[in-house]
Structure 1
Amino acid sequence: MNCKPTYLGKVISVSGSSVSIELTPKVRSGLLMIEGKAHRIGQVGSFVRIPQGYNNLFGLISETNDTSSIPDSYSLSAERRVIKVELIGESVGSDFERGISQYPAIYDEAHLVTESDLRIIYGHNDLGQVKIGKLSSSDSIDVSIDLDKLVNRHSAVLGSTGSGKSTSVASLLRAIVNKPDGQLQTPSSRIILFDLHGEYSSALKEVSEVFSVMPSEGESSLIIPYWCVNPERLIEFLCGQNELLKNKFIELIISEKQLFVEKNPDLKIDRDKVTQYTPLPFNLRKIWGDLCFEDKVTWQEKDQENPAYKDGSEGDYNKLISPSFKPPANGGNPPFKGGNNVWNKQLELMRTRLLDSQYDFFLSPNEWSISETYSVDKDVPDLLYQWLGHNKPITIIDLSLLPSERLDLLLGSLLDILFESALWGRNHDEGMKSYPLLLVMEEAHRYLSNDSNGLTKKMVRRIAKEGRKFGVGSMLVSQRPSEIDETILSQCGTLFSLRISNSTDRSRVKAAMSDGLSGIIDSLPILRTGEAIVTGEAARLPMRFKFKLPKEGQYPNSSDPDVSANWAKEWSFMNFDKITHSWRTQNPKKNS
């Protein structure tokens, strides 16, 4: 009889990477006390070690069986417990590697994995190892992930509503930037969190700068200058689909940008190399006025020298007043026709957009607006400094107050600005190759579905494929993994799977995970809140663990309403004026 305290049992069958182990009667209670710490035995997702001379094979328990699944010829006792283990790696001395070079033999010993074994695997004290929680099967064992691989190889946090997803994301980001004692451990980290529900500012307030369309106290204004946005998408947003108008619009954008270069020689930009994609300011209202002129103009002469304005009404593009012209006359009499008068609908839509106050942060970008003399108070460097240059490790972009139908355009534009700056700044000290950027994208299924075909999906696909080369990593957060584009999800090297009840979502996660851990994935519906299975590049071994719980006051603003307590309150008269005012002003913040 083996007397080693970690002894679990012996190997009784080997099939590929799957090993069946019969547990010794000594561990039939399911609990082992080692060095004063309790270890639960036979838990799905817990570890097993199989010594092979100087080497140790490591595996994860994927199922537990009774004697009915094992042939009678193996039976050594009337009551037996058998566990199925998936082999996933081996250690040689103090070095651990994924994959195995040899298989165990029948009757080889199997042992419980202790904290000292896991220290060999995870290297807790190594630079770049981030402690994010505790192992589910043993509360004394810390779970660490590799920060470099988490960022460079992309990741996803997946879980049904109510599984603790938002709290887990907040806990994960806090673990990255803070030491256990609360001091900063990565003061120069660059993490941008796109918050679609405005729930993270309360959870990460002391380690983040928050940008919002309608900022509260302590928050900054979110500005996305229209002239930094992909021009084709901008035109589509402003005017809808019209190929002829689009071509003329782009021609005017290039002309305006070239004029800005001429007026600002200190930029040292070659005028002839300016394209519609060059991030230079241009006057959108002036272009609207030029398009109105082009569409409606009539001329006093055939050679089109003098416009035939009606009553001297030349219009005012700054006030969005279009010019008026005398109608063309018949025959060879003046006024003579100039424009085709076919863009009325599109130009009126553009005018409406420019007048809509909910788009001011975008179409009237304050200090980033161009003046009549072709100067700007703030330029692209100031924009990047706002998001990346402050002394907090996390930037929260609160998108909760954006018009939902324009989420794709605006989020895609933010990603476009950030990725282009990484692409062209790869050889500079301030670039993302020197200070990598992690983009955390909440509610990813809303804009990365198979049916989506917008700017955001295009940019995320590009980041997933090329981001590593330029220092940009992504983390997707979603409650519906089955709706996320398969190509994008397959690029996520690390997966954190919280409780997932839906079988379709579970199947997608199982397909995205490697290591043949079907038994562990089948446990996703019964995970506790805040408990997850992590697998992939950043985890040296796949494991089931529980995220660190945040301290009081560090939870996201996403908790369920307290139905029973609030419904039990004594009735009192209610006035709905404030709700109506918030609705009309598109501002959910409290008003007096």
Structure 2
Amino acid sequence: MNSASPTLIGTVQDVNGTSVSVALTGAQLSGLTFVDGQGYRIGQIGSFVRIPVGYADLFGIVSQVGASAIPEALADTGGAGYRWLKVQLIGEGSAGGQFQRGISQYPTIDDDVHLVSQRDLQRIYGRRGKQHHLVKVGHIAGSQSIDALVDLNKLVTRHSAVVGTTGSGKSTTVASVVRSLSSAKNYPSSRILILDIHGEYQAAFADRAHVYKVNIDASRADQERLCLPFWAMEFDELMSLTFGSFPVDSKARNLIMERIIAAKVATVKSDAGSDIDPEAVNADSPIPFDIKKLWYDLYCQEFGTYFSSKGKTPVEENWAYKLDAQGQPIKGDASKGLPPRFREVKSVAGDDEKINYLPETLNIRAQLEAFGAKLRIPRYNFFLRPGAWDPDPEGKTEETLAHLMKGWIGSDRPVTILDLSGVPSAITNDVIGILLRLIYDCLFWARHLSQGGRERPLLLVLEEAHTYLNGDIGGRASTVVQRIVKEGRKYGIGAMIVSQRPSEINSTILSQCGTFFALRLSNGNDRSKITGAISENLEGLTSMLPILRTGEAIILGEGVGIPMRTLIEPPPKDKRPDSADPVVCDETSPEDSMIPGGWGIPMEADPNYEELVALWRQQTPFTSALVNLDEAEG
């Protein structure tokens, strides 16, 4: 033992796999030592130690300190004392060389154990020369001079997760990472798509993102309407959002499928320039057709009555419509989702006008009524009346599917935000699943093209993932994301899962995440979920999660050479997500201030709650809608 070394803190006394028990030397009279004029605390949980073995240095993380770190063989002797450390080995470096993950040899009894100095930290975390595949996300918590660098290739292709309780700095961390990845200087062709559940991220990326919203703010020119054409959905997806689910072998399901196929084939045949083989068209083919006409025809078939005394074969003139106040038949309007109204069945003897139902029905009256209501409710317009992608009765659209996908994943800006805050909560899971399935299929079939993910990989950022990737819900979103995290790497699709409750995330999805940004987590179930998902044996490090500061994260996994406690570098204040806590009382106000903010601000004399109700009814938070409302009333 070289007792003269100021970094020496103890010796190896027990080796059990990658776990090493270290007896502290009695030479250190306190928990503080000085190396090159800089003070270091000995035995800090999460700190590093170095064990020289021949021409190499083994590195480990302190996971346990004190009497509980005593080897089991000595625990019963009672005389072992309490000056012990337990260390988890994580990597090694050759003499004077860089650190690398994994170990090729193990320490032996009485090998010296040293604390890691600033010079060693630079050796572990530092990189020689400029390497574009390393992205700076902050700096090491123990040293502001050492950058926290993440491997971009591993971060995107091997998936990642950002987890942390509310208020831990999770959204700011996502914004910081995404801004680093979308730097025009370093990565001019980066491609990132954010599913923004609560509409938080537009402010963070106003200078580099296209924003698509269900409810656009009329006062903003940097927003476009989010459209999800119903005809681009697969058959089962479309049924789920319109008619509802049917048994696989049901007559109604099969008939609706046949009619959709026929409508899509008619669209293909009517397009002289189409190169699609009508024989190859199926119910899942993304080909436009008029679903409102399909609904109308099915409604007539289910509800229609006719004058049977005028002929056995019902024709338009023989249908028994109800009459309006002007004596005109109520035929409805397919384009508006207005159903026709029919007279009741009459079969009274001697009556001149016998009225019967149409001969064939499917017993889907409830489904047709529900679907008709959706056609009339504006909140469903984003997929039932998708703007330039809404087909006319002949199946023609103003814009193509190629134009839609180019806007989502091929625009001139590196970031695309799909703001789903206006999607009805009852269908959010399905909508997210359909969006992700479209993107996955698009890049899957384009894998050999320059537009595909192999040439230009795509990073999907899935905010508030626990709300739609719950392990107990076999929903459409969870099914698609499981496919992405298991197979997406081959086609250039990476996922970043963002959640405040990792314990609620589907285990398959979380286990496929190679890199974790773990911010403050107070819940024990959440911490154990992270510990179980990472490959390293680092329970001691993850036990620090409840005491992390806001904006501080432990980064673990494939994206970093070694787990590191990091202070995330936040974006400028005007480039942060709109997720800050409301001010109840302004802590920065001078003591003599009479209005400290929040609850300290005097209320208006007569607040106008009519405005509140108006926005509520219009299902929009934008005050510009109030101006439009006033103009309409004027």
In the alignment, structure 1 residue 228 sits paired with structure 2 residue 249: no
In the alignment, structure 1 residue 17 sits paired with structure 2 residue 18: yes
**248, 259, 264: which one aligns with 1:257:** 264
Alignment of 1:408-557 (within 5 A): 408-557=429-578
Query: What secondary structure sits across from 2:168 in the alignment?
Result: coil
1:295-353 CA-to-partner distances (Å, cap 9, x unmatched) read: 2455754466777323676654223344556766769x886742327332221111110
Alignment of 1:114-129 (within 5 A): 114=117, 117-118=120-121, 121-122=124-125, 124=127, 125-129=130-134
> Are the counterparts in 1 of residues 69 and 85 from structure 2 also a CA contact under 8 Å?
no
In the alignment, structure 1 residue 187 sits paired with structure 2 residue 198: no
Deviates more, 1:413-422 or 1:50-59: 50-59
Residue 378 of structure 1 and its aligned partner are, at CA, apart by 0.8
**559, 563, 566: which one aligns with 2:580:** 559
1:126-184 CA-to-partner distances (Å, cap 9, x unmatched) read: 23111112222223221111111111111111111121111111112122223xxxx63
> Are the counterparts in 2 of residues 296 and 338 from structure 1 also a CA contact under 8 Å?
no
Task: Flag the 1:336–1:8 CA change in 2: closer, same or farther, 3 A.
Answer: closer
1:434-490 CA-to-partner distances (Å, cap 9, x unmatched) read: 111111111111111122122111111111111111111111111111111111111
d(CA) in 2 for partners of 1:173, 1:111: 37
Partner of 2:319: 309
- The two structures have a TM-score, normalised by structure 2, of 0.85
Query: What secondary structure sits across from 2:573 in the alignment?
Result: coil
> Are the counterparts in 2 of residues 96 and 120 from structure 1 also a CA contact under 8 Å?
yes
Alignment of 1:168-179 (within 5 A): 168-178=173-183
Task: Flag the 1:49–1:350 CA change in 2: closer, same or farther, 3 A.
Answer: same
Partner of 2:373: 352
Partner of 2:388: 367
**104, 129, 135: which one aligns with 2:107:** 104
d(CA) in 2 for partners of 1:68, 1:61: 10
Partner of 1:152: 157
Amino acid paired to 2:390 = S
Query: What secondary structure sits across from 2:203 in the alignment?
Result: coil
d(CA) in 2 for partners of 1:194, 1:380: 20
Residue 66 of structure 1 and its aligned partner are, at CA, apart by 5.8
Task: Flag the 1:326–1:557 CA change in 2: closer, same or farther, 3 A.
Answer: closer
Residue 374 of structure 1 and its aligned partner are, at CA, apart by 3.0
Query: What secondary structure sits across from 2:262 in the alignment?
Result: helix
Partner of 2:409: 388
Partner of 1:581: 614
RMSD: 3.0
Amino acid paired to 1:516 = N
d(CA) in 2 for partners of 1:23, 1:265: 84
d(CA) in 2 for partners of 1:308, 1:171: 67
Residue 536 of structure 1 and its aligned partner are, at CA, apart by 1.4
Gaps of 5+ in 1: none
d(CA) in 2 for partners of 1:156, 1:188: 23
Partner of 1:214: 215
d(CA) in 1 for partners of 2:537, 2:613: 54
Gaps of 5+ in 2: 322-328, 586-596, 628-634
Query: What secondary structure sits across from 1:553 in the alignment?
Result: helix
1:357-391 CA-to-partner distances (Å, cap 9, x unmatched) read: 11112111111111234321111111111112222
Residue 105 of structure 1 and its aligned partner are, at CA, apart by 2.2
d(CA) in 1 for partners of 2:620, 2:31: 59
Partner of 1:570: 602
Partner of 1:245: 252
In the alignment, structure 1 residue 266 sits paired with structure 2 residue 273: yes
> Are the counterparts in 2 of residues 209 and 392 from structure 1 also a CA contact under 8 Å?
yes
Query: What secondary structure sits across from 2:482 in the alignment?
Result: helix
> Are the counterparts in 1 of residues 301 and 358 from structure 2 also a CA contact under 8 Å?
no
Partner of 1:131: 136
Amino acid paired to 1:309 = W
> Are the counterparts in 2 of residues 39 and 138 from structure 1 also a CA contact under 8 Å?
no
d(CA) in 2 for partners of 1:72, 1:416: 56
Residue 571 of structure 1 and its aligned partner are, at CA, apart by 3.8
Task: Flag the 1:90–1:329 CA change in 2: closer, same or farther, 3 A.
Answer: same
Paired residues, number: 586
d(CA) in 1 for partners of 2:31, 2:417: 49
Task: Flag the 1:95–1:134 CA change in 2: closer, same or farther, 3 A.
Answer: closer
Amino acid paired to 2:598 = N
- The two structures have a TM-score, normalised by structure 1, of 0.91
**321, 324, 335: which one aligns with 1:318:** 335
